[in-house]
């Protein structure tokens, strides 16, 4: 697949109004890589990311957009996405709508209401010791990433610890619910793609860094430049004080999207089953 620009977004599920952790980076087709400053204030907000993307998509270029959150939940053929509840949700789009319906009154795409919903609250590990009846539940792509030694994706149902991804993923599902209403945009691998169309993919920055031999977070400009060079991109030099791990994750991911996009094996990964393609999704770059 060919695209004109490559956008990577390091995401956050934190409660508004006061949070940081969202970063946006763009790599053009020639390989020039840069951070995108937030439109107002010192930090990006989730609503601002959505509004910015709407404007970028309206320009008519074909964009490959990567988001650092899980696009769906583990799927059970008999019980759907939420086994043990009375919710029988059979498709990713229906799951995104379900999350939006519960959380629609919460500002800035926050999704805290989902874990308070009496129908699904018991599925989450929210505090204290691990509940005896807690099931970690991982998607096939999460397990494949772990097996390949390319990172350790967390369960969206584990909502404690610094590495938890659940709140960010549910906030991201609210974003996907809005994005899928836009024209000329597909969400991979759930929807068919066409030449010249923009595409959203799920990313996991640790995977891209592991592919370049880096373990752990990047916070130093010299290491960042080396990784970006390995991905055949050129970084627009940034002031040292602007480089936190969120910015580095976004920059590396934008460069990696450009680097990986031309290889068919990443669009048709051998490990991705038909069921994973229909229901759970896949981390882009994992074969």
Please, what is the average pLDDT of the chain?
93
User: pLDDT tens digits, residue range 237-277?
Assistant: 776 667 899 999 999 999 999 999 999 999 999 999 999 99
Residue 36 falls inside a structural domain: yes
Residue 285 falls inside a structural domain: no
Residue 176 falls inside a structural domain: yes
The pLDDT value recorded for residue 260 is 98
The pLDDT value recorded for residue 9 is 98
Which residues, given as ranges, of the chain have pLDDT below 50? none
Count of domains forming the chain: 1
Residue 286 falls inside a structural domain: no
Residue 237 falls inside a structural domain: yes
What predicted TM-score, i.e. pTM, was given to this entire model? Answer: 0.96
User: pLDDT tens digits, residue range 30-63?
Assistant: 999 999 999 877 899 999 999 999 999 999 999 9
The pLDDT value recorded for residue 240 is 62
Residue 287 falls inside a structural domain: no
Structural domain range at position 100: 5-280
Distance CA 272, CA 281 (A): 9
Residue 203 falls inside a structural domain: yes
């Amino acid at each position: 697949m060919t695209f004109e620009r490559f956008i990577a977004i390091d995401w956050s599920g934190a409660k508004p109004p006061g949070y940081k952790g969202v970063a946006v980076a763009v790599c053009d087709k020639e390989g020039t890589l840069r951070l995108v400053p937030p439109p107002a204030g010192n930090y990006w907000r989730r609503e601002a990311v959505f509004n910015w993307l709407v404007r970028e998509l309206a320009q008519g270029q074909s964009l490959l957009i990567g988001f650092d959150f899980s696009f769906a939940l583990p799927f059970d053929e008999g019980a759907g996405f939420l086994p043990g509840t009375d919710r029988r949700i059979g498709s990713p789009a229906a799951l995104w709508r379900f999350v939006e319906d519960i959380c629609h009154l919460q500002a800035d795409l926050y999704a805290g209401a989902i874990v308070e919903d009496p129908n699904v609250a018991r599925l989450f590990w929210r505090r204290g010791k691990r509940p005896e009846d807690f099931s970690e539940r991982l998607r096939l792509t999460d397990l494949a990433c772990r097996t390949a030694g390319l990172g350790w994706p967390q369960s969206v149902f584990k909502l404690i610890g610094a590495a938890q991804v659940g709140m960010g993923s549910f906030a991201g599902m609210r974003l996907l619910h809005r994005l899928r209403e836009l024209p000329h945009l597909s969400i991979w691998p759930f929807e068919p793609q066409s030449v010249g169309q923009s595409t959203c993919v799920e990313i996991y920055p640790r995977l891209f860094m592991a592919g370049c031999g880096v373990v752990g977070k990047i916070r130093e400009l010299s290491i960042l430049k080396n990784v970006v060079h390995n991905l055949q991109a050129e970084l627009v030099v940034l002031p040292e004080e602007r480089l936190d791990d969120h910015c580095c994750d976004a920059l590396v991911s934008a460069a990696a999207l450009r680097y990986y996009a031309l290889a068919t094996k990443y669009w048709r990964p051998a490990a991705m089953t038909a069921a994973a393609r229909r229901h759970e999704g896949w981390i882009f770059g994992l074969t």
